[in-house]
Amino acid sequence: MPIHSRLGRAVEPFGRVLFFGRAHECPLCGASIRRFLPNRSRADARCPSCGSLERHRLSWLYLRTCGSLGRVLHVAPERQIRRRLRAKARTYVTVDLGRKADVRASITSLPFPPEFFDTIYCSHVLEHVVEDRTAMRELCRVLAPRGLALVLVPITVERTFEDPTVTDPAERERLFGQHDHVRRYGHDYVDRLEEAGFSVSRLDAPDLTDDAKRHGVGTAEAGSIFVCTKWHAHPTAAIYV
């Protein structure tokens, strides 16, 4: 674990008190803080109270407006948002290939029946998956007809760039920004999701909050959330179980 992550986690039990202030509010844990902490090369990224990053807070600004999320599938579960998702779920299932989870399986071959989950949360996973189109089809397969899937990836180029022949970690880091990434996604990411069977709405910070800076989602690193459904309607109309 990088040193900034270790230090951040050490602070969290006391972060709400140590960093108390009125300048910012974390939408995930509700802490009122004077600033967010740096993460990697990003300033104002990590909540000192719960450890949430920009993408977690942006996702929660959307998810907190929903009612019960019904049966939830959390792919490669991040601790920062896991507790919140579980609290809004009727049934909560985590899946991952290489870490502790309820079910150990590949996202390209999910061991669940069709249309089983009402909500799927999959954040910053597909850029690690060689067969990402297969994974997208699997997510669509297990999503209920009126369910929703939040499938987030970092958008870092205009058009998606990948080269499956690149396997050297150092070269992957040079080309794709991280040693375990296999591509850089561009704005045509939505096309891939739609080819897998989804209807997609892309939402950015201004769509979800009137005070993006206060919530720590006012930078480009917050990215976008991609709300995927199997039916053609605005995602705010999707009210679940």
At 94-108, the pLDDT tens digits run 999 977 899 999 999
pLDDT given at position 5 = 52
Per DSSP, the three-state class of 12 is helix
Domains recognised in the chain with CATH numbers: 1-52 (no CATH), 53-237 (3.40.50.150)
Q: How high is the pLDDT of residue 14?
A: 81
Tens-digit pLDDT profile for residues 124-179: 999 999 999 999 999 999 999 999 999 999 999 999 999 999 999 999 999 999 99
- How crowded is residue 174: how many other Cβ atoms within 10 Å of its Cβ? 11
Element of type H or E holding 56: helix 54-63
By three-state DSSP, how is residue 17 classified?
helix
Q: Determine contact, residues 107/95, Cβ cutoff 8 Å.
A: yes
Q: Tens of pLDDT along 79-96?
A: 999 999 999 999 999 999
What is d(CA 161, CA 152) in angstroms, rounded to the nearest whole number?
A: 17
How do residues 24-48 score in pLDDT, each as one tens digit? 999 999 999 999 999 888 888 999 9
